[in-house]
Chain A
Amino acid sequence: MSDIIRIKRGLDIKLKGKAEKIYRRTERPFFVALKPEDFVGLTPKLTVKPGDEVKTGSVLFYDKDHPEIKFTSPVTGIVSEIHRGERRRILEVIVKTADEDEFLTFNIKDPEYLSREEVITVLLESGMWPALRQRPYSIVARPSDIPKAIFISGFDSAPLAPDIDFIIKDNETEFRKGIDVLSTLTKGQIHLSVEAGYPICKSFANAGNVNIHKFSGPHPAGNIGVQIHHIDPLNKAEVIWYISPYDVVRTGRLFINGRLDNTLVLALTGSGVIRPAYVKTIVGACINSVVNGNVNNGDNRIISGNVLTGTRVETNGFIGFYDHQITVIPEGKHHEFVGWASPGFKKFSFYRAFWSWLRPDAEYDIDTNLKGGERAFVLTGLYEKVIPLDIYPMHLLKAIMVEDIDNMEKLGIYEVDPEDFSLAEFICPSKMELQDIIRKGLDLIRKETE
């Protein structure tokens, strides 16, 4: 047990619509989909066509550049549609679910008796592998790499984020098994970060082979990138892997039951939700099955993930592969007469330029309005206040904008991810799209180095 790592810079955005800690019943989804776009930089190669029958664990597509990385069906059923977008890019591989799951089974042994290669084979064949991602770039981990460490963030600090202790409660054995599996994959340590100030949940405390770190402070203290930066920062050419706690549980179940665990625990949150609560469903479930009848009337935006980094989805869309949260907030397509001059008692702001600072504990109902026009960079020293990394965000952004790879590396691009800039994007008075810029920079550097 190490000392508490105190994150001082950041911001907790207090939104209305926190999920109550109960499970609400949902129907079994009629449709389930995997979305290749959830996986950064992936070029999918399909192995199924509409009408094919698939079992839980059957391959739907694989990575063209790394054919060993397979993406398997979370349910049993019939492939109903390949939804394509511009230039025939595959957006969704949709499976119509059968009433009962028929699982493909995998030959398993206790991870203790398996070699690294054997463990990797089981993870790859079952489709559990893509749950492991690497930094830099947040792409799916490459089985050929040996990461210097594996990181698990034991808490989510994003707005309205699910309580991970609640999600993995009563999964002590599975979590421990999952950690055993992961420890065969790295020669380094497994770092598990927890929130200081709360008792460590049983699953974490009894996880065995992990190095527990306590973090305190506002969002983004729960971001994996922030934790890596403060525990064991990434240098050029180094690779670490990371995985979510619930996916550790699923990995454990795979090695206990010999079949892919397709369950997903989800927090349904946001001011657009009538009764925010947790639900148990299936990986890639359609949004309809989860939010049906529990959303306010009116023009809403449904987000798979949180309000800062999530993906916009329609009601007939699907939950993202890595998401444990759905947020529903009102759309903000309205004008506000001389809004920039209003006192702003009800306007949430990082700055004390609105009277809302008088109510520090209030919860806010923030819509999707941009709340201003796009402008050039003018103010300085703001992004630093919400990015608790030892980098110069403005200089890094400018290096990316002029595509200066040498400077990007020097300024620490390997240590950042779009999500680390999401708060800066939120508070930016010039309304710049910072996450897009960072993603562009990372894509550029990945193409240069691969």
Chain B
Amino acid sequence: MFHSTFDAFETFLFVPDRVTSHGAHIRDAIDMKRTMAIVVLALVPALLFGIWNAGYHHFMSAGIHAEFWEIVWFGFLKVFPLIVVSYVTGLGIEFAAAQIRGHEVNEGFLVTGMLIPLIMPVDVPLWMVAVSTAFAVIIGKEVFGGTGMNIWNPALIARAFLFFAYPSEMSGDYVWIAGLKGGENVIDGFSGATILAQAAAGKTTFVNGLGEAYSAWDMFLGKIPGSIGETSTLAILIGAGLLIYTGIGSWKIIVSVFAGGTLMGIILNVFAVNDFMRVPYWEHLIIGGFAFGAVFMATDPVTASQTEKGKWIYGFLTGILAVLIRVLNPAFPEGMMLAILFMNTFAPLIDHYVVEANVKKRLRRAEKVNLK
């Protein structure tokens, strides 16, 4: 009766005792759980940095000097509930859906459930996380037939849902730093504007809330306001290293997204007519959600291109679009989310042409033989 639920807990606690019955008599030690666990592990550096960063910016805005552990503890209290809400909501729906369909519970949500909090602003209300997670799992995934069948990255669906449904909680200068919105205990003149917001406003030097200029090193390390997990390019690259090394994430997509972003950045620099277009191309790669999107979002195997040649094209176009939307469309301060969702939509089309080329090659070979 509760087979799916039982199976899920059984396989979580134990690798099952089932043996091979058809086909190959031995199997690789890898399974979906291990795969997803590796991805979650790859997210941990970004998560830890995000926790520290939440505390760091909070105390900076309040003008209080805090010790390292104070900062981390504050950040933990802010971030941990988001993770709990995301997992509880998402897994609850996944278990129910698996039970109704009589399927096994797929492990995909282990990753999605971690991604969702990491791409949220730290002060997002918990109920919004619950609603957006539910929306992502039901509309973004289950209606398409569940794990492996969805067209768009579920975590990005959650973010896009909030972005369009509750824009005041997802954008502006007040949501990125914990405690800023109420306005109490915030030092006078403190600004919580992200670098992208500053760039869109035509600023040429980017400053932190206190008005001190950021160095490129600050941006790379991630000491800037932004969604919880997206700020530290360094932490993200550590995760990328793990994904690429284990062979679980596609290095082709990661590399080509960065390549596409770089190229578009250079083009904009060359033809620059305003200050935003003059932002050095390499800065685009270390600010906003670019790196996080490239490493953890664009690489989602279900929604990315599935052919290896297609992955190059898909990644490259994602990078180009992300920077293009960022700079040329003032309505959207961050282009990465839209670029990935857009390319998710076109991934099957890219694959179609790649496969079609292979089919044509085969037909031509057969024709040659027939002519003889």
A residues apposed to B, CB below 8 Å: 13, 15, 233, 235-236, 238, 301, 303, 307-310, 312, 327, 329, 331-341, 344, 347-354, 356, 366-381, 384, 390-392, 394-395, 410-412, 418, 422, 425-431, 433-436
Contacts and interface: CB of A to CB of B under 8 A. Distances in A.
Interface in B151-184: none
A327 B19 CA distance: 16
Given A377-B148, A395-B355, 17 more contacts: A307-B25, A309-B24, A329-B25, A369-B15, A370-B16, A371-B27, A372-B15, A372-B33, A375-B31, A378-B148, A384-B308, A392-B354, A410-B363, A411-B358, A426-B24, A427-B30, A435-B22
B1 interface: no
B253 to A, nearest CB: 10
B146 interface: yes
Given A377-B148, A378-B148, A412-B362, A370 B19 contact: yes
Contacts of A333: 17, 19
Contact of A13 (B26, B106, B147, B311): B26
Interface of B: 7, 11-20, 22-35, 37-38, 104, 106-108, 146-149, 245-248, 250, 301-302, 304, 306-308, 311, 351, 354-355, 358-359, 361-363, 365-366, 369
A233 to B, nearest CB: 7
Contact of A310 (B15, B25, B362, B366): B25
Given A233-B365, A375-B104, A379-B301, A308 B19 contact: no
A376 B147 contact: yes
A429 B24 CA distance: 14
A238 B369 contact: yes
A83 B55 CA distance: 75
A375 to B, nearest CB: 5
Nearest to A235: B366
Contacts of A430: 32
B359 to A, nearest CB: 4
A385 B250 CA distance: 12
5 tightest A-B CB contacts, nearest first: A372-B31, A339-B15, A376-B148, A347-B29, A235-B366
Contact of B30 (A327, A338, A349, A433): A349
Contacts of A429: 28, 30-32, 34-35
B14 A336 contact: yes
A395 to B, nearest CB: 5
B248 A392 contact: no
Contacts of A395: 306-307, 351, 355
Nearest to A311: B25
Instruction: Name the residue in A309, A312, A376 with the highest tally of chain B Cβ atoms < 10 Å from its Cβ.
Output: A376
Contact of B25 (A312, A391, A427): A312
Contact of B18 (A13, A350, A370): A370
Instruction: Name the residue in B11, B23, B108, B307 with the highest tally of chain A Cβ atoms < 10 Å from its Cβ.
Output: B23
B19 A332 contact: yes
A411 B246 contact: no
Given A333-B19, A384-B308, A371 B301 contact: no
Given A368-B26, A370-B27, A435-B24, A378 B365 contact: no
Nearest to B35: A429
Given A13-B26, A235-B369, A308-B25, A375 B107 contact: yes
Contact of A425 (B23, B37, B358, B366): B23
Contacts of A340: 15, 31, 33-34, 37
A194 to B, nearest CB: 26
Instruction: Name the residue in B25, B27, B306, B361 with the highest tally of chain A Cβ atoms < 10 Å from its Cβ.
Output: B25
B37 A303 contact: no
Contacts of B14: 335-339
A313 B355 CA distance: 40
Contacts of A380: 301-302, 304, 306-307
A310 to B, nearest CB: 7
A348 B19 contact: no
13 contacts: A301-B25, A333-B19, A340-B31, A341-B34, A341-B37, A348-B28, A349-B28, A368-B25, A373-B31, A376-B106, A411-B355, A425-B24, A427-B30
A381 B314 CA distance: 14
A379 B38 CA distance: 13
Contacts of B25: 301, 303, 307-308, 310, 312, 327, 329, 368
Given A329-B25, A378-B302, A371 B31 contact: yes
A431 B147 contact: no
A82 B356 CA distance: 50
A431 B18 CA distance: 11
Nearest to A344: B29
Instruction: Name the residue in A308, A310, A339, A356 with the highest tally of chain B Cβ atoms < 10 Å from its Cβ.
Output: A339
Contacts of A372: 11, 15-16, 27, 30-34
Nearest to A352: B246
Contacts of A351: 28, 30, 246-248
A333 B301 CA distance: 32
A209 B165 CA distance: 76
A314 to B, nearest CB: 14
B13 to A, nearest CB: 6
Contacts of A335: 14-17
Contacts of A391: 358
A356 B369 CA distance: 47
Nearest to A436: B22
A241 B242 CA distance: 46
Given A336-B14, A369-B19, A373-B104, A308 B24 contact: yes
Given A312-B25, A353-B246, A368 B19 contact: yes
A332 B29 CA distance: 12
Contact of B7 (A341, A373, A381): A373
A381 B308 contact: yes
Contacts of B18: 369-370, 373
A370 B29 contact: no
A381 B14 CA distance: 28
A371 B246 contact: no
A235 B365 contact: yes
Given A349-B28, A380-B304, A381-B301, A369 B17 contact: yes
B24 A349 contact: no
A434 to B, nearest CB: 7
Given A235-B366, A372-B15, A353 B23 contact: no
B19 A392 contact: no
A374 B29 CA distance: 13
Contacts of B246: 351-353
A104 B340 CA distance: 72
A373 B35 CA distance: 13
A341 B245 CA distance: 18
